[in-house]
Structure formats: C-alpha cells, structure tokens
Amino acid sequence: MQPVYIATAYLGPVQQYCKMLQYREIRIETAENYVKQTYRNRCVIAAANGSLSLTVPIVKPNTLKCRTKDIRISDHGNWRHLHWNALVSAYRMSPFFEYYADDFAPFYEKRYAFLLDFNEELRRLVCDLLDLRPVVVYTDQYEPEVANDFREAIRPRHKAEDPSFRPVPYYQVFREKHGFLPNLSIIDLLFNQGPEGLVTLRESILPQDPVR
C-alpha cells in the first residue's frame, strides 16, 4: 500500500487519526510552505455552547513563504492558560477526563519553540493512549503531486470528498444539547471514549478500504 500524506495538526480531527490507522505508513508534511487557517495550529472541541475552535498563535514569519517545520509559537495572549481552561470546562464531566488530564496538562505549562514539535509530541501521546502505532515519516522536501494526499483535504470548514471516512457517532457530554458533532479534535474522542476510541476510529473507516 502506498503511504498517506497528511499535514501536522494541533490535536488533529478524528478523520486524520483514521488515516493513521488505515495506512501502513504516514508521511507528515514538514517541507511545505505554511498554510493559515487550518488544523496545523487549531483544533475544534465540543463546548457548552457548541463547537469551539482553539488556535495556537504563531510568530509571523519574516518572509511571505515559510516552511511548516520553521513556524514558531507565539506567547501572545496567554493562550496556554486559555486553552487548558477551555478543555477543562468542556470535558471535566466526560468519562475519561480525570484519567487523562495529568497527561495533557504539562503541554500547557511547557513553552515549545516550534509548532511542529508541539503538535508531534501531542500526537505521539494520543497514539500511545489509544494504542495506535503508526509508522511515521517526516518529509524533507515538498512533492506537489502524490497519491493518497490529504494534506489540504482535512481542514476546518472544508468538505473535500473522502470516500473512506464515515464518522461514527459516539457519546459526547453535550450531545443532548447540540446533537452529535462529527470529526472534532481527537481529544474529544479520547476524553469521551477512552481506549475504546480506537474501535470508533476503526468503525469510521469504510469497509472497502483496507485497514491494517
């Protein structure tokens, strides 16, 4: 099977983690020119008032084009404190928040210089907690045309066709209020489903596509 190409993401959506289960090799793009308003520096969670987007501020590059791996995190706006408070408010009543809170809290205390490092350490933690073991390769040069390219297809408010992904509903704290909110950040699935989140990922991959 050919590898799948995805972008780095801040606590990426369920769809992205389905790719990590579906494909034997995951190539995370680091050599692209950074793209704004994507999951690269934001995640979407289910809060009391509905979907809530959390954005990691970045340092504006000195040039018009800057590789994703060179993007630095800004300390503007006390965002770490705000993000953690938002996660606590949204998920403190979820079944697995107390179980995992101590794993995630340090990420909102430590200062990371680069967005890619921050994203990838979070991704590795999530994969460990879900017992998901993808083979990850980081790109060292950008290839504009590749097979299984989801680098731009998985992004907020972008309904690109993905015939292999069908988000399966699961318990959410505010589901009775807002209905099921599909394809949120993986942290929503983890706090609500715990280790069983891996089953939900597997069920969200359409059966005609091979799953390892």
CA distance 114 to 68: 9
pLDDT of residue 26: 98
pLDDT of residue 76: 85
Q: Please give the model's pTM, rounded to 2 decimal places.
A: 0.94
Beta strands 42-47 and 4-7, pairing class: unpaired
CA distance 115 to 103: 19
Q: What is the mean pLDDT of the chain?
A: 94
3-state helix, strand, coil in the chain (%, to 5): 35, 15, 45
Residue bearing tokens 């770490």: 80
pLDDT of residue 60: 87
Cα 1 → chain centroid: 23
pLDDT of residue 208: 53
Tell me which of 60-74, 79-93, 103-117 is least confident: 60-74
Residue bearing tokens 């934001």: 42
Under 8 Å between Cβ of 11 and 122:
yes
Nearest 5°: phi and psi at 87? -65, -40
Where along the chain do its domains lie? 4-203
146-165 pLDDT tens trace: 999 999 999 997 777 899 99
CA distance 19 to 153: 12
Residue bearing tokens 């998901």: 132
Element (H, E) at 82: helix 79-91
Structure tokens at 154: 């998985």
Residue bearing tokens 């995640």: 43
